[in-house]
Amino acid sequence: MPDKLTFKEMCARFDVTPRTLRHYEYIELLFPERDGRSRFYHPREVARMTLIMRGRKFGFSLEEIRQWLELYDADPEGRMQMEAWIKLADGQLEELAERQRHLEAAIAELSVLRDKVKADLKGAS
């Protein structure tokens, strides 16, 4: 990986829009180097963006991600960050399991309804 990525390279690497990247900077998730109007992202920012994208994939809010990333600055050894991550992950796993139960129930109900309508349609022919 090069020493630093440009704004455009960062967007391409993480498949995000320029608006998203600027928003992450605005809410202090990322801190790129600025040179005039140009922004450059060093390996630390690339690593932070990797964690942000992973957190979003798992359904964490940007505020939860921001707070979790701030723990690294407070504890470079990472113990506080790892403990916070476990707590966040436990909560998110519960929430995802609940969503899964709701989705499975909705799928089952929709399948029954579809099969009933299909049978009614067949019977009306």
Q: In this structure, what CATH number is given to the domain that contains residue 25? A: 1.10.1660.10
pTM: 0.77
Tell me the per-residue pLDDT of 4-52, one tens digit each, with 9 for 90 and over.
999 999 999 999 999 999 999 999 999 999 999 999 999 999 999 999 9
Phi, psi (deg, nearest 5) at residue 60:
-75, 150
Residue 43 CB partners (closer than 8 Å, separation 6+)? 1, 3, 4
Query: Other CB atoms closer than 10 Å to residue 118's CB: what's the count?
Result: 10
Tell me the per-residue pLDDT of 91-111, one tens digit each, with 9 for 90 and over.
999 999 999 999 999 999 999
Q: What is the domain count for the chain?
A: 1
Domain range for 63: 5-124
SS3 111: helix
Confidence class of residue 1 from pLDDT cuts 50, 70 and 90?
low
